[in-house]
Structure 1
Amino acid sequence: MLLLPPLPPLPEVLIECPRFSFVKRRADGSVDFVSPVPCPYNYGSIPGLVADDGDPLDAVVLGSRLARGQRVRLPVVGVLGFVDSGKGDPKVILGAAPMSAAERAGLESFFRVYALFKRGLHLVRGNDTDTRFTGWLPVPSVSSAS
């Protein structure tokens, strides 16, 4: 089971891919992935925390569109399990309110489809194609640091 690092009560997220964008960028601004469908969420990372894949811990911010490069602090409302190219790549879900059943279902559907596209990309790049949504993970306890 993937273990997440302790999270601050209100993690800071750097938005790399605003809601409805087609281009997923890394924290340094380089293009990571171009999607054939727009991302229905604000997608970014939590600076200073690293996932099993060696990249900053991914984060999804629910709500209205945010600008690329914007930093926000919100509570964690869920953690979605994901494997990307054979390595743990969980998605920390943040929002101003608890997730609704529709938001939860939407996230599951999106990341199942996203995994299909990423598997194709890994196949073309010659990488390990084990890329999949693995279910919901327990929300880790928060650390006292912010």
Structure 2
Amino acid sequence: MAASIGGTIYAGIAQQQQMQAQVQALEQQKEHARAIAAAEEQDALDGFGREIARQRGGIIAAGLTLDSPTAVYLGEQAAREMSYEAQSIRAKGQAQVGGISAEQSILKARGDQAVMGGLFGAAGKALTAAPDLWPELLS
């Protein structure tokens, strides 16, 4: 009987440890998602920087000055687009990290639930076996 009760508790603890290992693996995925988002954002900013330099060269080649209304307008547009693109990439990365965090929370709760299930299962076995273990309780 004691082995059965101990086994039930152990099974719950083992499930919790398995869930904790999965939580740790997801933590690595979150770090990876953050790194990818940061790299994508930097790539986008670098691309916009090259495009702005190309535009600036075109403006100068057209005989305009960089403080002309057209040049200023184009520069403002490029800066706005660059900002929107960076925000979009950042938001995508944050959404991925948020989804992984939610999954981690679920796994933690399942692990806690497994331990509680093991404890309650063991208690149920002990109570079911009580009349056989202590027959004097029935008198």
TM-score by length of 1: 0.24
Structure whose alpha-carbon radius of gyration is higher: 2
Structure (1 or 2) with the greater strand fraction: 1
Structure (1 or 2) with the greater helix fraction: 2
TM-score by length of 2: 0.25
